[in-house]
């Protein structure tokens, strides 16, 4: 039976959102970007896919419609 919300290692999470694993570690230590993570043991860090999806959705920008050229 597969879990509904997949857990990912830091490297898997970084690959999923398109950043380096060091960037995720930096964000976690500085609090610059608030993506929840969970410690499993002394050194293993896990992320939930749903939390990563929420981060991706929060950073998505709506594309502005193209500007019309002025006619003179």
Local confidence pLDDT in tens for the 72 residues of the chain: 445 789 999 999 999 999 999 999 999 999 999 999 999 888 899 999 999 999 998 887 766 666 777 776
Looking at residue 33, its pLDDT comes to 92
Domain membership of residue 32 as a residue range: 7-59
Looking at residue 1, its pLDDT comes to 40
Rounded Cα–Cα distance for residues 22 and 35 (Å): 14
Is 71 contained in some domain?
no
Is 69 contained in some domain?
no
Helices 10-17, 21-30: crossing angle, 10 deg rounding: 100
Looking at residue 29, its pLDDT comes to 92
Is 14 contained in some domain?
yes
Which helix (H) or strand (E) element contains residue 8? Answer: strand 7-9
């Amino acid at each position: 039976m597969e879990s509904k919300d997949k857990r990912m290692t830091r490297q898997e999470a970084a690959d999923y959102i398109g950043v380096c694993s060091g960037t995720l570690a930096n964000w976690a230590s500085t609090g610059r970007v608030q993506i929840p993570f969970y410690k499993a043991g002394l050194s293993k860090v896990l992320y939930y896919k749903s939390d990563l999806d929420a981060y991706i959705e929060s950073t998505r920008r709506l594309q502005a419609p193209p500007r019309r050229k002025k006619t003179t």
